[in-house]
Structure formats: structure tokens, C-alpha cells
Amino acid sequence: MSVPQPSRTAWAAHSPMTLIDSAQCEANVCGRSRVVDGVLKPSSGTRWITRADYGKQDFVVEEGFLSAADCGRLADAFRTVHPQTADRKVASDFWDGRIVFMDEVAAHAAETAAVMAEVQRRAAARLSGFYALTRPLYADSVQLNVWKRGSHMPPHTDNAYHDGGPHESHWRDFSSIVYLNDDYQGGQLYFTALDKVLRPKAGMLVAFSAGHHHEHGVLKVRSGTRLTMPAFYTFDASRAYGHVHPELQAAAALEAAVGSMADSTGARLGRLLA
């Protein structure tokens, strides 16, 4: 029997998502071709999103989402924990040595991990309100990332590949990034299909849908070090990150325990009846 897939259309009739086509289009192809080795060659239509434009986008841009004190606290936590995790391998060479997960922060400082969890919950609430979502969103990962000088990321979506090949995070429906600093050069966010560039500011929240409409890349960091707190969201509760959604883990453990008790009672009954 096949496992039922969660709905990918869990929003109200007035949601901006009704105007968003997550499929790949020609604008994605053109946008990707403008980014070579992390450097954007703007088209005549490329637009830089200014402060006056933040509220006019079909994705969330919110200044001052995280206070300077909390940005500093999370950046300090990254610098403290990162040396202990730098040799830990993740699923991708690109990210090896660049991620500290929330549970790793928790092992160092539970209060700081609690700040991350609260930031993630607030970001999910913003996404839910902005896109008029009708079902809960679950974070599948909350991290701190480092982007050193010279690093960049080619345009990509967070749930699909350009060639339609199987994506390792295909369940993701939305993404958010909170920027912890802005004392670096480069590192802008470029949206291919929109042909728009955003220069993140410290404390800013940017959040968007995971499909091709919001395909995005990070332009090359020319100097300094860029620190971010990304999180990824899904309607699929089975993909929830246990450190953010312990209630789901507890429910799953209870369900497993009840199942196991039922199995053992059934087996005992079977022996009695045999």
C-alpha cells in the first residue's frame, strides 16, 4: 500500500501561493545563466530590492526580525560550537564543515538553542500568515551556517533539481533564513525567476516557497564571513525535526509503545488460545 502524500496546496483561496507556479520555467533557465562562479551578470531587467520594496514581494522580507543581541548570541554560539563539529560529515560535500545543527547548540547551551527554536517558531508563523496557510508547518532542520570569503551557492530550489531528478529533501515546502550579520561584502540573494537581488541585513528574515518560483542562489562572498540561520519547513509531520517538535516525537514514541503492547498482548492471547 502506498503512503499517502501530504497535500501541497494547503492554503486559503486568497493566498499568494495561488499565483505561484512552482514548476520550472524559462525565467529560471535565463536567471541561472546570469550567475557564473557566484558572480551575477545582471540583465536589463534585473532589479535590486530596496527597503521600500520589502513589503511588495511575493515572499517575506522583514527587517529587525531578530534583535542585535540575539544575532550576537547565535553568532557566538556558532563560533564556540563550530570547532567541535567542523570534522563531522553531512550528506553533502558542499556543506561539510559549515553547519552547526540546533541539537549541537543545545548540547553547548540549552538557552541559546531555545532562542533558535523560538526564532524558528516565529518564522514559521510569519510564513503561515503571509501565505495564508491552512495546515501546520513543521521544521525539518534548524541550523547555523557559515559562508567564508569566496563561498557562494549556485541557484537552486530547496526541494527539486533542475533536471527533475530525485531530490533528497523533496518534502520541503518553504524555507526561511535569518541573517546574523552583514559586515561582509557580496553574499547577496539572487532569485532567478524574479530576476531580483536582495542584500540581506543583520537581523533580517527572508522566507519563501521551496519550488522553482523562488529558486535562489547566494552570490560570492567577496570579503568577511557571512553567518545565517536557515530553517526548512514541510506540511509532512513525519519529517519534523525532533528538537523543534518534541511533542511529535513523544506522540510517535507513545504510538510505538501502544503498538508494541498490543502485539505482546495479542501474542499472549494467541498462546493461551493455541
> Cell 495564508 maps to which residue?
132
Rg (CA), the chain: 21
Which CB atom, from 231 or from 240, has the smaller least distance to Fe ion? 231
Pick between residue 216 and residue 245 the one whose CB is nearest to Fe ion.
216
State CA 124 to chain mean position distance: 10
Please tell me whether residue 173 binds Fe ion under the rule CB under 5 A. no
Q: Residue 119: which H helix or E strand, with range?
A: helix 110-130
- Contact assessment for residue 120 and residue 244, using Cβ atoms and an 8 Å cutoff: yes
Q: Pick the binder of Fe ion from 158, 173, 195, 215 (CB under 5 A).
A: 158
Instruction: Report the nearest approach of Fe ion to the CB of residue 265 (Å).
Output: 48
Q: Give strand pairing partners of 133.
A: 11
Residues 54-93 as x/- pattern, contact with Fe ion by CB under 5 A? ----------------------------------------
Contact 145, 192 (CB under 8 A): no
Piece of the chain touching Fe ion by CB under 5 A; list 28-36, 97-105, 154-162, 240-248: 154-162
Q: Min. distance of Cβ 108 from Fe ion in angstroms?
A: 26
Instruction: With residue 143 as reference, give the H or E element that holds it.
Output: strand 138-147
Q: How many chain residues are in contact with Fe ion, going by CB under 5 A?
A: 1
Q: Residues in the site for Fe ion, rule: CB under 5 A?
A: 158
